Amino acid sequence: MTTIALQVNRRAVELPAEPRTSLADFVRDKLDLTGTHLGCEHGVCGACTVLLDGVPARSCITYAAACEGADVTTIEGLDEDEITTELRAAFTREHALQCGYCTPGMLVSARDLVLRLPDADERRIRIGLSGNLCRCTGYVGIVRAVQSVIEARRARNVGPLADGGRTVLGPAGSGRAATARSELRPARPAPASESATPSSISDFTPATILDQRFTLPHPPAKVFAMFEDIAGIASCLPGVSLTSLRSERVEGSIRVRLGPIVASFEGAARVERDPAALSGRIVGIGTDQRSHSATQGEIRYRLLPLEDGAATSVELSIGYTLTGMLAQVGRPGLVRDLAKRLIAEFAANLDRHMSGAPSGRAAPAELGFWSVASDVLRARLARIFGRAFGRGGAE
Ligand code: FES
Ligand code: FES
């Protein structure tokens, strides 16, 4: 038995398995995620297709042990996914399933096509789905369903996602970077602030979502008003500086340091607010010329009253997709730990700011990722050595 640590449907999982256990058996037998079906069990039918580091892959011929550190998404993890929701409705409408055995794998593959190919015609869809076999439908309804979703998204001006949202360079499932090969190296991104217009900051499906929550000792209405003050919010965020501020659009940069890499993401964001629900959303894009990295991100927040309205619980959902060099070192587990600590810093600054005290942000030049990361790495090393010497230490 070997212990395998990976992310399944955005949840950290660490479980023992035989080295010969396939990823399909791992998710079905150990996690009860039986939406991943097994047909041929030798890589032909596609019924077992899951997303590995954002890429469709056959889980029946992938060893679970080879997925250490990987990001796995099964059909269950796509329940709330926008494209999969559209595909499910289209499959129903077009009678694209009968027994449904091939459907989970078909949906995972079709989602990838919708994400990458905004102009795919029937032929390209048939080629794209040629690795998924259906014994019932004759494919006509399936192709029609996928085509209708692609056309509907094109009509709504939803752009494709480069590489289908792939976040990690290297073999799918490795969860870590391969030696950078020139053909895998992402093209140098254009500065987002040059190319971003309000309409180009489009909606997207984040590769990683982090849910966080913190409490502020101020009433919800006061906190909501504070969230309208973008300059004030930015002053509480380490490493952030604004260059332009209009009502629903913000431009600026954020400097981050992760190990030896310093990146300065320049970009723009769209701000949406719902006063009735005391909630809002910030959707942004940014690029860093030096590390050749690009990101799309969104922050959704919701304010809930606590202590009879004297305090507020701030619920945050942070989603992002990172590509380029930083994606190679920004493993989801590490980013999650870092985000937790950075949000704690943000909350403390916010509280000070709202209480009229100086925010405590001595205008840090960049996110204190390294100092924070060293704590996280220390904890992780302790865990690894604890495991190696049989102590099973926790972070
Ligand atoms: S069960 Fe994996 S390809 Fe058929
Ligand atoms: S619907 Fe039965 S195998 Fe595809």
| The most confident of 220-224, 288-292, 385-389, by mean pLDDT | 220-224
Q: What is the pLDDT of residue 259?
A: 52
Please tell me the distance between residue 166's alpha carbon and the centre of ligand 1 in angstroms: 22
Q: What percent of the chain has pLDDT over 90?
A: 40
C-beta of residue 145 within 8 angstroms of C-beta of residue 90 = yes
Residues with CB under 6 A from ligand 1: 38-41, 43-48, 58, 60
Please tell me the distance between residue 148's alpha carbon and the centre of ligand 1 in angstroms: 27
* Average pLDDT for the chain: 78
C-beta of residue 295 within 8 angstroms of C-beta of residue 281 = no
pTM of the full structure: 0.49
| CA-to-CA separations, 117 to 36, 128, 158, 168, 334, in angstroms, rounded | 24, 10, 11, 20, 32
Q: Which residue, judged by its Cα, is nearest atom 2 of ligand 2?
A: 99
Nearest alpha-carbon partner for 59 in 30, 14, 21, 97: 21
Query: Which atom of ligand 2 lies at the shortest distance from residue 99's CA?
Result: 2
| The most confident of 36-40, 172-176, 268-272, by mean pLDDT | 36-40
Query: Which atom of ligand 1 lies at the shortest distance from residue 38's CA?
Result: 1
Residue with more model confidence, 369 or 135: 135
Please tell me the distance between residue 53's alpha carbon and the centre of ligand 2 in angstroms: 26
How many Å is the Cα radius of gyration of the chain?
A: 22
In a 3-state reduction of DSSP, which class is residue 54?
coil
Q: What is the pLDDT of residue 326?
A: 62
Residue 36: CB atoms within 10 A of its CB come to: 25
C-beta of residue 1 within 8 angstroms of C-beta of residue 18 = yes
Please tell me the distance between residue 231's alpha carbon and the centre of ligand 1 in angstroms: 52
Ligand closest in space to the Cα of 48: 1
- Which of the residue ranges 123-137, 251-265, 284-298, 308-322 would you say has the lowest mean pLDDT? 251-265
Q: What percent of the chain has pLDDT over 70?
A: 71
Nearest alpha-carbon partner for 49 in 36, 61, 65: 36
Residues with CB under 6 A from ligand 2: 97-103, 134-137
Please tell me the distance between residue 306's alpha carbon and the centre of ligand 2 in angstroms: 50
- Which of the residue ranges 43-47, 53-57, 122-126 would you say has the lowest mean pLDDT? 53-57
Please tell me the distance between residue 171's alpha carbon and the centre of ligand 2 in angstroms: 30
Query: Which atom of ligand 2 lies at the shortest distance from residue 47's CA?
Result: 3
Query: Which atom of ligand 1 lies at the shortest distance from residue 40's CA?
Result: 4
d(CA 379, CA 292): 29
Query: Which atom of ligand 2 lies at the shortest distance from residue 96's CA?
Result: 1
β-pair type (2-8, 71-73): parallel
Domains of the chain (ranges; CATH) run 2-184 (3.10.20.30), 192-389 (3.30.530.20)
What DSSP string runs through 277-299? GTEEEEEEEEEETTTTEEEEEEE
Query: Which atom of ligand 2 lies at the shortest distance from residue 136's CA?
Result: 2
Ligand closest in space to the Cα of 133: 2
Decide if pLDDT at 181 tops 60. Answer: no
| Single-letter amino acid, residue 378 | R
C-beta of residue 366 within 8 angstroms of C-beta of residue 255 = yes
Q: What is the pLDDT of residue 331?
A: 56
Nearest alpha-carbon partner for 212 in 314, 84, 133: 314
Ligand closest in space to the Cα of 134: 2
Can you tell me the mean pLDDT for 356-366?
Answer: 53
pLDDT in tens, 76-99: 999 989 999 999 999 999 999 999
Q: What is the pLDDT of residue 89?
A: 96
Can you tell me the mean pLDDT for 244-250?
Answer: 73
d(CA 369, CA 316): 20
Q: In what order do the strands lie in the sheet with 249-258?
A: 208-216, 311-323, 293-306, 279-288, 261-274, 249-258, 240-246
C-beta of residue 176 within 8 angstroms of C-beta of residue 336 = no
Best residue among 28, 58, 63 to mutate for probing ligand 1's pocket (most ligand atoms within 8 Å of CB) is 58
Please tell me the distance between residue 137's alpha carbon and the centre of ligand 2 in angstroms: 6
Q: Which residue, judged by its Cα, is nearest atom 4 of ligand 2?
A: 134
Longest dimension (CA), the chain: 68
Q: Which residue, judged by its Cα, is nearest atom 3 of ligand 1?
A: 43
Query: Which atom of ligand 2 lies at the shortest distance from residue 100's CA?
Result: 1
Best residue among 37, 49, 98 to mutate for probing ligand 2's pocket (most ligand atoms within 8 Å of CB) is 98
- Which of the residue ranges 16-20, 75-79, 322-326 would you say has the lowest mean pLDDT? 322-326
